[in-house]
Amino acid sequence: MITAIIAAIAVPVLFACYYKNAFKRPKNFPPGPPSLPIYGAYWIVLATEFNNLSEAFRKLSEKYKSKIIGMFLGPFKTIVINDPDMIRDMLYHEDFDGRVDSIVMRLRSYWKKLGIFFTDGYFWHVQRRFSQRYMRDGGFGRRDEDLEYVIEGEIKEMIDMAMNGPKYPAEHEMVKGDLVYMPHYFAVPFINGLLHVVSRMTLPRSEYHALWKLAKGALLFQRSSDDIGRALAQTPWLKHIIPNWSGYNALKEGNQALLDFYTRLIKEVMDTQEDSHDRHFLDTYIRTMKEDSTKGRSTFSVDQLALTCADYTLPAASATEAVLAILIERLLLQPDVQDKVHEEIDRVVGRGRLPNLDDRKDMPYTEACIRETMRLDTLVPLGVAHRATVDTKFHGYDIPEDTMVTANYMVLHHSKEIWGDPEVFRPERFIKDGQLNAALDKSLPFGAGRRLCAGETYARQCMFQVFAGFMQAFKVSTADGKPLTKPVPRLQGIINTLPDFWVRVTPRG
């Protein structure tokens, strides 16, 4: 009897407490879904569109009749911006330059806040500026003959592998008869190019297996979380209970290959360094670190150097190859696009030499195909989350310090007002009077503002070289010989990717 009375009182009280909490939100915060126990509004986001968070946020933005929606995702106060102009405003708003501190970030950096991606404030400012300034000496972020030459050499090996068959055991994983394995087949030029930038060293073909290990690890990492860190970010204790299911093990494993690689390389460099001159970026960093250690507030360390290299290599080993794999799928879906790319390459370059960056301005269609892929298939649909570093105002709302700020790039890239026919793959939309017209490209695949992708120029240049070189050599068709009629469902992660697949390549003679 007493139990029944207690239950009769406790249940409504608990329900009332929960109900009050569910709708509790900071004063003048954007409207949005209520919080449920443990994961807050994340349940509702998942229930709205389980396998497509950006689409879920778009729908919730419609439901709450607000371009900016606010909610708690687990412990994180979060706003999601679902409007092209507001996304731009957010990216250029200095108060939103922070990054969110979460387990997904910490587990990759010795449980500290290191690297470029996930640091902020003074530390990030110094380290990002230093890496951009001195990697430039190795050709990063600009035109550089040496770097182009290195990448061209890698493209030749990549083509040779498919044209003449594997030479080393690991290549059998990438090439089988006339089939090549997407996306990792494309990985080596991007990674070896970056290695040249930081260390003036590249791995020879006999050691490509080490680079594919990095690419596999990087892609595993990218696929094992999403921009809001999945359940693991919101309930980090899951790593102790279900390390596999929560993605914890995969994230760790994916990252470890990169850290091991750079820890070894940095040690080798330190062992052979001479004081008289800097051979490359790693030398310059280590020398600056030694000089800086006498000052009070140094941000330089060996761990930070390893994380910086890992932060540049992770996307070079995963994002760029993933974009090209999606572009290959577009060519399978729309063979006329492939014909136009071939026509342009033959007309501008011919077959006697590889396409190079001088050709880029004369090959608007090929360039536009890459841009259109990044628009339609937005690689990072929710960007990399920002954080409000102070209490601030945004479009009439009060946004408290430490709010996670997410841009829904899918809304920008699929806006009917901007693109007219956003769901159609149509590279011509970027071309006017036979030229690529930058003003027509309103997409922001690399973000904008101070947190703009630090590898945009490298990514754009290298993707052009690799794609154009590959297409000059081959015609692609499906592995089973049947026409592809609709896009394969994407795997949702930090970046959106296609499941790995084989594609048939036929030499163009």
Pairing of strands 404-407, 76-81: parallel
Which span (31-39, 78-86, 313-321, 355-363) binds ligand HEM, by CB under 6 A?
A: 313-321
Q: Is the Cβ–Cβ distance between 113 and 123 less than 8 Å? A: yes
Within 89-118, the residues that bind ligand HEM by CB under 6 A are: 91, 116-117
Q: Which is nearer to ligand HEM, 107 or 370 (CB)?
A: 370
Q: How far is the CB of 17 from ligand HEM (least distance, A)?
A: 37
Amino acid in position 371: R
> Looking at beta carbons only, is 35 or 320 nearer to ligand HEM?
320
Answer for which of 323, 337, 357, 494 binds ligand HEM (CB under 6 A) is: 323
Residue 232 engages ligand HEM in binding (rule: CB under 6 A): no
**Does 44 engage in binding with ligand HEM (CB under 6 A)?**
no
Verify binding: residue 454, ligand HEM, rule CB under 6 A: yes
Q: Which of 53, 174, 325, 453 binds ligand HEM (CB under 6 A)?
A: 453
Count of residues interacting with ligand HEM (CB under 6 A)? 26
Query: Strand, helix or coil at 435?
Result: strand
Per-position x/- string for 191-230, each x denoting binding to ligand HEM as judged by CB under 6 A, each - no binding: ---x------------------------------------
Q: Which of residues 123-162 bind ligand HEM (CB under 6 A)?
A: 128
| Interface with ligand HEM (CB under 6 A), residue from 144, 283, 311, 372 | 311
Burial of 139 (0-12, 13-18, 19+ CB in 10 A): buried
Quote the least distance from Cβ 81 to ligand HEM, whole Å.
12
From the list 447, 469, 472, 493, which residue makes contact with ligand HEM (rule: CB under 6 A)?
447
Q: How far is the CB of 444 from ligand HEM (least distance, A)?
A: 8
Q: Of 487, 459, 463, 442, give the one whose Cα is nearest residue 366.
A: 463
**386 φ, ψ (degrees, to nearest 5):** -95, 175
Compute CA distances 275 → 96, 137, 291, 339, 431, whole Å. Answer: 41, 18, 12, 55, 51
Q: By C-beta, is 44 or 444 nearer to ligand HEM? A: 444
Q: How many CA atoms lie within 13 A of 128 on its CB side?
A: 17
Q: Are 37 and 18 spatial neighbours (Cβ–Cβ below 8 Å)?
A: yes
Q: How many CA atoms lie within 13 A of 219 on its CB side?
A: 24
Check if the beta carbon of residue 123 is closer than 8 Å to that of residue 101. Answer: no
Stretch that binds ligand HEM, among 58-66, 219-227, 293-301, 319-327 (CB under 6 A): 319-327
Question: CB 132: neighbour CB atoms within 10 A?
Answer: 14
Check binding of 446 to ligand HEM (CB under 6 A): yes
Can you say whether the dihedral through the CA atoms of 352, 353, 355, 356 is positive or negative? negative
Q: State the alpha helices, DSSP H only, in 136-280.
A: 145-164, 187-199, 208-223, 230-234, 238-241, 248-272
- What x/- string results for residues 369 through 398 when contact with ligand HEM is judged by CB under 6 A? -----x----xx--xx--------------
Measured distance CA(448)–CA(10) in Å, rounded: 51
Single-letter amino acid code for the residue at 349: V
Judge whether 378 and 445 are in contact, CB under 8 Å. yes
Which residue stretch of 234-242, 414-422, 429-437, 441-449 sits at the interface with ligand HEM (rule: CB under 6 A)? 441-449
> Quick check: 320 binds ligand HEM (CB under 6 A)?
yes
| Cβ 244 to ligand HEM shortest distance, Å | 28
Which residue is at the shortest CB distance from ligand HEM?
A: 455
Does 315 bind ligand HEM (CB under 6 A)? Our answer is yes
Rounded-to-10 torsion of CA 119, 125, 131, 133? 160
Nearer to ligand HEM, 39 or 458 (CB): 458
Q: Which chain residues interact with ligand HEM by CB under 6 A?
A: 91, 116-117, 128, 194, 311-312, 315-316, 319-320, 323, 374, 379-380, 383-384, 445-447, 451, 453-455, 458-459
